[in-house]
Amino acid sequence: MYVVTYRRPQQEGDAPDAAWTHVYRVSDDTRTGRPVVYVEAVLKGDCMVRGLARAQQLIEIFGDPSWSAQSPLSSFDAGEAA
């Protein structure tokens, strides 16, 4: 899991910096042998603490053996997306 905050530089006369926090999950694709990056959550603002909490929740979910029966695409939480 990776938690990353992106900030847009503020231009003169612009609104305050726009920031987004993303939670990424990286896993190996057994079909291609390459890593695959999933965007698991998109949070508006510089919210590293919320992003880390979300990453911890996802680690618990993906660590649960029953999760492996689900599609990896079902892990995206559209409710968290901005």
Q: Give the pLDDT confidence of 31-67 residue by residue, as tens digits.
A: 888 999 999 999 988 889 999 999 999 888 887 766 5
Has residue 27 got a pLDDT over 90?
no
The whole-angstrom separation of Cα 41 and Cα 37 is: 12
| pTM to 2 decimal places | 0.66
Rg of the chain, C-alpha, whole Å = 15
Residue 56 neighbours by CB under 8 Å, 6+ apart: none
